[in-house]
Structure 1
Amino acid sequence: MAVGLAITNEGGQYNGRITLFVVLSCMMAAMGGVIFGYDIGIAGGVTSMEPFLKKFFPKVYTKMKEDTKISNYCIFDSELLTSFTSSLYVAGFVTSFVASCVTGAFGRKPSILAGGAAFLAGSALGGAAFNIYVLIVGRLLLGVGVGFANQSVPLYLSEMAPPRLRGAINNGFQFSIGIGALSANLINFGTEKIEAGWGWRLSLALAAVPASILTLGALFLPETPNSLIQHSKDHQNAKLMLQRIRGTNDVQAELNDLIEASSVSKTNNHPFKKILQRKYRPQLVMAIAIPFFQQVTGINVIAFYAPLLFRTIGLGESASLLSSVMTGIVGTSSTFISMLVVDKLGRRTLFTIGGIQMFVSQCMVGALMAVQLKDHGGLSKGSAYLVLVLICVYVAGFGWSWGPLGWLVPSEIFQLEIRSAGQSITVAVSFLFTFIVAQTFLAMLCHFKSGIFFFFGGWVAVMTVFVYFFLPETKNVPIEQMEKVWREHWFWKRFMVGKLSDGTKEDHNIGSQIL
């Protein structure tokens, strides 16, 4: 029986409601975000555990325990340590292109299943690792899993969601990332206290829990109506699925739009070549710019290295892990707030508010550390906790802006014929720059010192201005009508010449749907 919130047909929207069936399906698919978040949180935590460092990174352990002449900012600067952290993103970068082919050829469900299975195998190797090589192979498998999940889950959520609630449902992916990271931080805080020194093994092995849920759950996930239409000439199954997920029999208008979009996409056998065409320039720019900007906010270095960063400013091992738990709670809570307001306030408003908040807090952290944290010694307890508060303010700003919207906006702006290619580019760029930032952060911290926060703060200022001028508002616009939004934008309309991709004339009333 369909239960939930009614979705009216005002403003050109489709009929339907948010049903229990679609909520449960999206919750299960969003476990793909949990595995990603768990890995982000767990990696930063175990690399601050002394037994883990002593076994796999003895040089870092020696510097931390014995060499007091090394700068606070350089203690954890190790190529091997950063290679461990960032190897996942190399695998994810390569996998994202393979995942695009799988998603396009076989549907969203098989990609989600493949992601869960690969992550499950990687967690087993990580927990059982006896040398650095096994550890990194396990991490590469985690990267394969995350590559499949990050490519397919945002698409799945966008295609299952009713237009008026697409933002809230798709933001569930980032919310799941936050849940995964918070769970990892709590687990690290507990396993660090295991006196026998094998707590890190438990932390890494417990990644199998969300991976198992995702893998088993994927077996029972329904395929999206978009994918059913794309892979079958019989549209009856797609119509029945639409009726089930919308909670109404009146789905013909939405079904017709999906069939039209699928017809256009089937004339195109080369989506990566097609997305390079001039008329897709706005989407291509956003597919590259948004994940790039998301990574140079500096959020992942906070997530990866938060325990190390808190140890740098003078907090102990346990206090550092507890501080990471606090930032995880703040990030998850702010993402939940974003889910509630994104379809009311819109994407651009949240981008702007979050950008200003992140910029101010990063500059304040940089200024405080520049004045008080020298190469040797530490911050006073009061100053260290002030840094923690400012980082929480920064994480909150990210949590309701670039965190969820960095996944939402790219997943909703592509026409069906370029959707898998566009999402693949988004994920690949995200992995590429996550790898670059993760690989260079500890060296940059060593050389830039407190200036690292001004570096990322500068990028936040740039991306906030970029969004203000170049990103159109997409709230409440049906995903199959998104092309019309670009045609009305002051800058991008110059690339959108001629008829719409479905052969129809442009509807100039689309702007009223996003006001």
Structure 2
Amino acid sequence: MVNEKKISSGFIYFFGAFGGILFGYDIGVMTGALPFLQNDWNLQNNPSAIGWITSSLMLGAILGGALAGQLSDRLGRRKMILISAIIFAVGSILAGIAPHNGVLFMIVSRIILGLAVGAASALVPAYMSEMAPARLRGRLSGINQTMIVSGMLLSYTVAYFLKDLPETMAWRLMLSLAAVPALILFIGVLRLPESPRFLIRNNKINEAHKVLSYLRSDKDQIASEIKQIQDTSKKEENHKASWGTLLSGKYRYLVMAGVGVAAFQQFQGANAIFYYIPLIVETATGNAASSALMWPIIQGVILVLGSLLFLLIADKFKRRTLLTVGGTVMGLSFVLPAILNLVIPNASPMMIVAFLSIYVAFYSFTWAPLTWVIVGEIFPLVIRGRASGLASSFNWIGSFLVGLLFPIMTATMAQEAVFAIFGAICLLGVLFIRIRVPETKGRSLEEIERIGQNRQGKERSA
């Protein structure tokens, strides 16, 4: 244990979730840094280099998420968050001191940073859900999303205030400053206790009881929760799932639904906006991207407000309803600028930016948080670990491909056409939700598992 002194639940929840802020900062920081880096290294006519520098973070995250889940079962959630904070700091500083025109050095630095980003994406929700009482778990995905988008907004704001520095100093400071919240995370997590679930799985019952006493006021509730965790751990040990189990007839329907939602969230193109909004505005208006750094802040504010709205409405609407409405408006927001551009060739070039803001608004309280709510609810216990990891991997793969291909696509075709392609994917996502994804709101995990088995049985007999 950390020490005998009681640690407040507020302190535990704050620093337990703080990794989300770091995750968001590193996802968003390249948005502000890229216009300066592009000019400093003369990359305007090298869309491939721009794509690789931006997307290499996600390449590392694919590996980091997969490794963190397995290592945290051996080393503990807390220790892995501490290791991630160190990697965050090292990757940030390496990116900031990259040699001039050191594209390969920058890509490797971003891959290292991505290891920590991927680890945070897996560790923070797991740690928080294992520390919080059952009545708070429904909102945890929303709170985690709020932390992530707050980190993105922080990176956009830092970029805006550093924009008047010399180019080479501006982008280096933007990237290096991520080491500051990484240090804060490390110091905070040093005082955090280990997850009670991890402690019980390693037969440290007294320590788990002590941790739960920080977070629960009812002694009977603590005893009941420890017994429930012990029972669940035994079930998991008795039902080891292989990768082949995911594709078995019993689980295939639910696995395809959860993984499909996670993949569509990224292939719909949201990160094309978050990574490249200054360059999008530059293409639309002809003004320098470095003068468009207020737009990321606007998008960041919309994301934060949307995540707060989700916390208010999360339990009031069905999951499929919110995803259908959000996906439809998102798709139309991408498709309409291309149509209007054909009908009204002289329309304001900022029209596309206005539609992108509508897209971000609806994404922020539908697909952004709900993807992870569904991933947390839809997989049966026996396969949950592997299936959640598979869904996360497909999500990061989608993020990587969008980050890599967007600048290459916009170099070869009109910007409106690229977004129209993403719009079509949004509408396909809505179709997928209506046909392949069951409603999970208000249903127990056992009910959802039965629905999946019944649907799979009907498909086999059809």
Equivalent in the alignment of 2:3: none
Query: 2:332 aligned with 1:360, yes or no?
Result: yes
* Cα drift, residue 48 of structure 1: 1.3
Equivalent in the alignment of 1:156: 127
Equivalent in the alignment of 2:26: 39
Equivalent in the alignment of 1:102: 71
* Cα drift, residue 283 of structure 1: 4.2
Q: Deviations over 1:166-223 (max 9, x none)?
A: 2322212221121111111111112121146411111001111222222222323333
Provide the C-alpha distance between the structure 2 equivalents of 1:221 and 1:419, rounded to a whole number of angstroms. Answer: 26
The residue correspondences of 1:290-329 to structure 2 (distance < 5 A) are: 290-314=261-285, 315-329=287-301
Provide the C-alpha distance between the structure 2 equivalents of 1:107 and 1:397, rounded to a whole number of angstroms. Answer: 37
Provide the C-alpha distance between the structure 2 equivalents of 1:429 and 1:325, rounded to a whole number of angstroms. Answer: 28
Provide the C-alpha distance between the structure 2 equivalents of 1:406 and 1:340, rounded to a whole number of angstroms. Answer: 17
Paired residue type of 1:343: D
Provide the C-alpha distance between the structure 1 equivalents of 2:343 and 2:158, rounded to a whole number of angstroms. Answer: 34
Equivalent in the alignment of 2:259: 288
Q: Mind listing any 5+ residue stretches in structure 2 that lack a counterpart?
A: 1-6
* Cα drift, residue 328 of structure 1: 1.0
The residue correspondences of 1:74-473 to structure 2 (distance < 5 A) are: 78-130=47-99, 131-195=102-166, 197-232=168-203, 234-251=204-221, 252-268=223-239, 271-314=242-285, 315-370=287-342, 383-449=348-414, 450-473=416-439
TM-score, length of structure 1 as denominator length: 0.79
1:29 corresponds, among 16, 23, 34, to 16
Q: Quick check: which one's helix share is greater?
A: 2
* Cα drift, residue 401 of structure 1: 1.1
* Cα drift, residue 244 of structure 1: 3.8
Paired residue type of 2:282: R
* Cα drift, residue 242 of structure 1: 3.9
* Cα drift, residue 241 of structure 1: 3.7
Paired residue type of 2:357: C
Paired residue type of 1:97: A
SS of 2:268's equivalent in the other structure is coil
Change (3 A) 1:489 1:284: closer
* Cα drift, residue 281 of structure 1: 2.4
Q: Which stretch shifts more, 117-126 or 456-465?
A: 456-465
Change (3 A) 1:22 1:354: farther
**Percent of pairs identical after alignment?**
30
Change (3 A) 1:346 1:105: farther
Kept in 2: contact 1:119–1:208 (CA 8 A): yes
* Cα drift, residue 263 of structure 1: 0.4
Query: 2:23 aligned with 1:53, yes or no?
Result: no
Q: Deviations over 1:82-141 (max 9, x none)?
A: 111111122221222222211222332233222221111000111111133332222111
Paired residue type of 2:351: L
Change (3 A) 1:161 1:385: farther
SS of 1:334's equivalent in the other structure is helix
* Cα drift, residue 266 of structure 1: 1.5
Equivalent in the alignment of 1:4: none
Paired residue type of 1:389: A
Paired residue type of 1:95: G
Provide the C-alpha distance between the structure 2 equivalents of 1:230 and 1:283, rounded to a whole number of angstroms. Answer: 27
Change (3 A) 1:93 1:257: same
SS of 1:344's equivalent in the other structure is coil
Question: How many residue pairs end up in the alignment?
Answer: 449
Paired residue type of 1:455: I
Paired residue type of 1:201: R
* Cα drift, residue 23 of structure 1: 4.6
Provide the C-alpha distance between the structure 1 equivalents of 2:78 and 2:384, rounded to a whole number of angstroms. Answer: 15
Provide the C-alpha distance between the structure 2 equivalents of 1:184 and 1:444, rounded to a whole number of angstroms. Answer: 26
Provide the C-alpha distance between the structure 1 equivalents of 2:179 and 2:334, rounded to a whole number of angstroms. Answer: 35
Change (3 A) 1:149 1:334: same
Provide the C-alpha distance between the structure 2 equivalents of 1:157 and 1:339, rounded to a whole number of angstroms. Answer: 16
Kept in 1: contact 2:259–2:391 (CA 8 A): yes
Kept in 2: contact 1:100–1:421 (CA 8 A): no
Kept in 1: contact 2:258–2:374 (CA 8 A): no
Provide the C-alpha distance between the structure 1 equivalents of 2:136 and 2:253, rounded to a whole number of angstroms. Answer: 24
Change (3 A) 1:334 1:273: same
Provide the C-alpha distance between the structure 2 equivalents of 1:211 and 1:105, rounded to a whole number of angstroms. Answer: 23
SS of 1:345's equivalent in the other structure is coil
Provide the C-alpha distance between the structure 1 equivalents of 2:189 and 2:244, rounded to a whole number of angstroms. Answer: 31
Paired residue type of 2:175: L
